[in-house]
């Protein structure tokens, strides 16, 4: 699996002793205590899931107080900061942000629609002692998870075996609409128990499909979704709305009747992939997109992988 980690290299921490100031220009730090930080983005691609855009760099002092910020669209950002213990946060693909402390940064909200394919919100941090020239690596990670659906297999039996199976849509339900840069539980949700129109539709739904799957055959629609983390441990199905697991739903027509095949996903973590390789339909589906069908109606397994390295795969049969 490809390595999509993005590393931000903070290079050339140099003394700014040679810098001069205009007579009336304010000097933020004593000149003999200033260091220059040159920020370089290494290994970034220009497009796709690995792209890094709209880079913002925040420097906080040892007490977590904001000291200085650099931003730009290029791969290099240079700024000056005082010497001493620092925490540096790198933010990519996010709206412009102004904060007064590290705590304020961590509690700031990021919304799912801030992301787009090829421009995902990412962040990472590193603490260091700024005392002279140094090279520092900061690894940034995406806030979204990645949910992929492979083949849909038509194994309908009994009275439905001869009926036409048409896939009308594939989408996610019960999707976290926001989190914070420090990762907290969502306070808003999209597609609560049913498909809705949301500002993040391009990330969590494929609708308006009309894919016929012949009996004993299969189709692969290339469905890839990018939800925000959902830390909810307990699950619920139907009833009144409550926080619950995210579900992947295949909406189908069988002989002209609409039904649903919900797949309950595990607790979703940022920057991880959840791959359903084969989804086998054996019986008529549920009449609700949020209520799972009887056991044996759908057969699948979910492979969970670390998006950055592809290591430590975990498979589940549900």
Nearest 5°: the CA angle 33, 134, 141 is 110
Question: Given this model, what pLDDT does residue 5 score?
Answer: 44
| pLDDT at position 171 over 60 | yes
H-type alpha helices, the chain: 102-107, 201-204
CATH code of 146-317, in short, is 2.60.40.3690
Between 29 and 188, residue with greater pLDDT: 188
Cα diameter, the chain: 89
Over residues 113-135, mean pLDDT: 85
Quickly count: other Cβ atoms within 10 Å of residue 281's Cβ: 27
Question: Given this model, what pLDDT does residue 80 score?
Answer: 78
Could you tell me the two tokens for 103?
A: 């705590």
Residue-range domain boundaries for the chain: 6-142, 146-317
| pLDDT at position 23 over 50 | no
Phi-psi region of 186 (alpha: psi -120 to 50; beta: other; left: phi over 0): beta
Q: Is the dihedral of CA 231, 236, 237, 243 positive or negative?
A: negative
| pLDDT at position 34 over 60 | no
Write out the CATH class of domain 6-142: mainly beta
Question: Given this model, what pLDDT does residue 17 score?
Answer: 29
d(CA 67, CA 259): 56
Enumerate helices (H) and strands (E) in the chain, giving the number of each.
Answer: 2, 23
Could you tell me the two tokens for 13?
A: 């921490």
Over residues 103-113, mean pLDDT: 98
pLDDT confidence bin for 49, thresholds 50/70/90: confident
pLDDT confidence bin for 310, thresholds 50/70/90: very low
Integer-rounded Cα Rg, in Å, for the chain is 24
| pLDDT at position 32 over 60 | no
Between 22 and 148, residue with greater pLDDT: 148
Question: Given this model, what pLDDT does residue 132 score?
Answer: 67
pLDDT confidence bin for 148, thresholds 50/70/90: very high
d(CA 140, CA 89): 9
Over residues 38-48, mean pLDDT: 53
Query: Could you give the 3-state DSSP secondary structure of residue 84?
Result: strand
d(CA 149, CA 189): 22
| pLDDT at position 7 over 90 | no
Over residues 230-242, mean pLDDT: 95
Question: Given this model, what pLDDT does residue 36 score?
Answer: 60
Question: Given this model, what pLDDT does residue 42 score?
Answer: 44
3-class SS shares of the chain: helix, strand, coil, % to 5:
5, 50, 45
Over residues 172-187, mean pLDDT: 97
pLDDT confidence bin for 126, thresholds 50/70/90: confident
Between 308 and 6, residue with greater pLDDT: 308
Average pLDDT, the chain: 81
Question: Given this model, what pLDDT does residue 134 score?
Answer: 61
Q: Can 6-142 and 146-317 be said to share one CATH topology?
A: yes
Over residues 34-49, mean pLDDT: 56
- Which neighbouring-strand residues pair with 260? 251, 286
Question: Given this model, what pLDDT does residue 303 score?
Answer: 64
């Amino acid at each position: 699996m490809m390595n999509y980690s993005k590393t931000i290299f903070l290079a050339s921490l140099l003394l700014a002793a040679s810098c001069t100031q205009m007579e009336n220009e304010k000097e933020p730090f004593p000149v003999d205590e200033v260091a220059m930080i040159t920020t370089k983005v290494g290994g970034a691609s220009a497009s796709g899931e690995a792209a890094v855009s709209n880079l913002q760099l925040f420097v906080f002092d040892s007490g977590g107080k904001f000291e200085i910020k650099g931003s730009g669209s290029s791969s290099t950002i240079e700024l000056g900061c005082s010497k001493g213990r620092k925490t540096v946060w790198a933010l990519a693909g996010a709206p412009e942000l102004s904060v007064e402390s590290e705590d304020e940064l961590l509690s700031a909200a990021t919304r799912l629609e801030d992301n787009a394919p090829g421009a995902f919100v990412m962040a990472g941090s590193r603490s260091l002692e700024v005392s002279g020239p140094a090279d520092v690596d900061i690894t940034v990670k995406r806030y979204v998870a990645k949910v992929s659906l492979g083949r849909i297999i038509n194994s309908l039996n009994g009275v439905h075996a001869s009926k036409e199976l048409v896939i009308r849509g594939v989408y996610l339900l019960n999707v976290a609409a926001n989190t914070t840069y420090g990762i907290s539980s969502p306070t808003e949700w999209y597609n609560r128990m049913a498909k809705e129109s949301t500002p993040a539709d391009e990330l969590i739904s494929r609708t308006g499909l009309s894919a016929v799957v012949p009996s004993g055959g299969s189709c692969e629609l290339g469905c890839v979704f990018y939800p925000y983390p959902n830390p909810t441990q307990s699950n619920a199905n139907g009833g009144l709305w409550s926080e619950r697991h995210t579900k992947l739903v295949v909406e189908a027509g069988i002989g002209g009747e609409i039904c649903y095949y919900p797949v309950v996903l595990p607790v979703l973590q940022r920057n991880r992939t959840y791959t359903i390789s084969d989804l086998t339909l054996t019986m008529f589906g549920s009449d609700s997109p949020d209520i799972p069908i009887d056991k044996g109606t759908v057969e699948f397994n979910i492979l969970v992988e670390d998006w950055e390295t592809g290591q430590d795969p975990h498979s589940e049969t549900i």
